[in-house]
Structure 1
Amino acid sequence: MLFVDMLFVMVVAISFIPILTGYCAHSRGRSFWLWFVLGWVLPLVSFFLLFALIARDELNPGRRLLGEAKQILREAEEAAARIRAEK
């Protein structure tokens, strides 16, 4: 029984990185499942690769402004769609 418990703890501990990688990717608009699978296949490599991609987006002012502009346009389109739906 001790072996089963240790195996369960190891699986939970190992699945922490894929879940964290998938969550970070999803919060940045990337595919959760793609990064979750990459987290299982290449745990540390995928985590650091995602970290580098996020850092590149955050440190580049042009990309940051582009993301903010896309968000503003998305909100404006949703507001326009709501106004059209009310008429």
Structure 2
Amino acid sequence: MFIDILLAFFCALSFLPFTTGYCAYSYGRSFWLWFGLGCVLPILSFFILFALLYRKEMNRGEQLLAEAKAILAAAEAKDREVPIGGEE
């Protein structure tokens, strides 16, 4: 019984560090650094990470870069559809 409660407590306690680490990794930051911060400061590290990511996303330069990447991706996809030389 005690082991079940301890295991449930460990799973609940590790949810936030794993979430913080995953979010950091998906935005190009170190998983292990943010996982460690999530273990030491669980709630605070979560809010700090999201503040950093929000600041990056709201930066006008980052928005223009994302828009340029989307335009290039659409042009590459269109280029793959049309055969070379325009022949069908």
Q: Which band: TM-score by shorter chain?
A: 0.7 to 0.9
2:46 counterpart residue number: 47
The 1:60/1:27 distance shift into structure 2, 3 A limit, reads same
The 1:28/1:68 distance shift into structure 2, 3 A limit, reads farther
SS state of the match for residue 15, structure 1? helix
Mark the runs of 5 or more structure 1 residues left unpaired by the alignment.
73-87
2:23 counterpart residue number: 24
Output the TM-score relative to the length of structure 1.
0.72
The two structures, once aligned, show a CA RMSD in angstroms of 1.9
* CA–CA separation in structure 2 for the residues paired with 1:33 and 1:64: 27
Deviation at 1:68, TM superposition (A): 6.3
- The one-letter code of the counterpart of 1:59 is M
* CA–CA separation in structure 1 for the residues paired with 2:56 and 2:25: 15
* CA–CA separation in structure 1 for the residues paired with 2:46 and 2:4: 27
* CA–CA separation in structure 2 for the residues paired with 1:68 and 1:30: 21
Matched length? 71
* CA–CA separation in structure 1 for the residues paired with 2:51 and 2:7: 31
Deviation at 1:10, TM superposition (A): 0.4
Map 1:72-83 → 2, pairs under 5 A: none
Output the TM-score relative to the length of structure 2.
0.72
Percent identity between the aligned chains? 60
- The one-letter code of the counterpart of 1:18 is P
- The one-letter code of the counterpart of 2:47 is F
